[in-house]
Every structure is written in structure tokens, then in C-alpha cells.
């Protein structure tokens, strides 16, 4: 499923540039993806579209996405969320929030879509793809440092 999502992310500039799901299914099939992978990815994308409805976000500037005083509340994850996401994914979500690049509304969509993803716990690389897809759906590109964190291989980085 995640290979299909990465293909969609790389080939369609924004979520609104992506064709309708039935047309996307034909394109994915023509590119050689397995029918089961396509179906799973399309169901996941449909869930992303449903979760994103009625969400209005401000422009993605740091100042507007930074935590507001009214956002000082704390998100408590259920036991099922903790088990399915695992410590690595929960820590990464917390990192993105504290960096001011994942507002509460997007965090909830990320958690919703991660809960719909396979894996127990969800691998951190899969969560990073989910975060990219949520940004993609809203037409926002993360800044270069966050994009590097989402796309880069942490094991290949050199410490300075």
C-alpha cells in the first residue's frame, strides 16, 4: 500500500490534482501495481478525503501553525492508539507538534490515517509517508528541514 501512496505523492503535485479514485485505479494498474495494493491504497485515500472534509487550515506559515495559547491542551492517546502507533510514531508526532509544523487538526488526521494503516505497531517510515500524504491532501509542502526529516534516511546522516 505504501509504495502506491508514494507513487501518488510523487506523481501528483497536490491532492486536488489527483484524478478521481476510479481513474487513479486504472493509472496505477497500468503502472504495474498489484490489484490488492491498489485497492488498499484507494480505500486509505478515500478515508483521507473523508477525514479532510470540512477542515479549513490557515496558510502553513510557522507563525500561524505554531501552537496557540488555546492549544495548550494535551492529547492523550488511547491504549489502542498507543499499541498500534508504538513509541517511535508517538514520539515523532510529538516532535512535529513541538516544532510547530503539525497543528492539532492535522495531527488528528494523521492519527486517524495511521490507525487505518497496516502494521502493529506502524513502522516509523510508514508514519512519515502518512504525514506527507496528509500535507499533500491539503496542498501544503513542509519546509525543507521537515521534508528532509520525512524523506531522508536517518541512518545515512552524519552527526556534526
Write the pLDDT tens digit of every residue in 45-63.
999 999 988 776 655 554 4
Percent of the chain with pLDDT over 90: 57
Task: Count CB neighbours of 147 within 10 A.
Answer: 13
Q: How many independent structural domains does the chain possess?
A: 1
Name all contacts of 93-97 with Cβ < 8 Å and 24+ positions apart. Answer: 93/127, 96/131, 96/146, 97/67
Grid coordinates representing 136 are 499533500
pLDDT given for residue 158 in this prediction: 46
Question: What CA–CA distance (Å, rounded) separates 122 from 143?
Answer: 24
Predicted pLDDT of residue 63: 46
Residues 97-140: tens digit of each pLDDT: 988 899 999 999 999 999 999 988 999 999 999 999 999 998 88
pLDDT band, residue 142 (cuts 50/70/90): confident
**CA–CA distances in Å: residue 93 to residues 26, 77, 80, 159:** 34, 11, 16, 23
- Note down the domain range covering 96: 2-156
Pairwise CA distance, residues 90 & 106, whole Å: 14
Q: Judge residue 148's burial from the number of C-beta atoms within 10 Å of its C-beta, 0-12 exposed, 13-18 middle, 19 or more buried.
A: exposed
Amino acid at each position: 500500500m505504501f509504495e502506491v501512496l508514494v507513487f501518488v505523492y510523487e506523481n501528483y503535485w497536490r491532492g486536488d490534482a489527483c484524478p478521481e479514485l476510479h481513474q487513479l485505479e486504472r493509472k496505477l494498474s497500468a503502472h504495474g501495481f498489484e490489484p490488492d495494493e491498489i485497492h488498499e491504497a484507494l480505500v486509505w485515500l478515500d478515508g483521507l478525503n473523508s477525514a479532510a472534509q470540512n477542515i479549513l487550515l490557515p496558510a502553513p506559515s510557522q507563525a500561524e501553525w505554531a501552537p496557540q495559547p488555546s492549544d495548550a491542551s494535551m492529547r492523550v492517546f488511547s491504549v489502542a492508539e498507543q499499541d498500534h502507533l508504538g513509541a517511535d510514531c508517538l514520539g515523532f508526532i510529538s516532535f512535529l507538534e513541538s516544532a510547530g509544523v503539525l497543528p492539532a487538526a492535522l495531527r488528528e488526521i494523521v492519527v486517524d490515517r495511521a490507525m487505518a494503516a497496516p502494521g502493529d505497531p506502524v513502522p516509523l517510515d510508514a508514519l512519515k509517508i502518512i504525514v506527507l500524504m496528509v500535507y499533500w491532501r491539503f496542498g501544503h509542502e513542509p519546509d525543507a528541514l521537515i521534508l528532509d526529516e520525512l524523506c531522508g534516511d536517518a541512518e545515512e546522516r552524519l552527526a556534526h
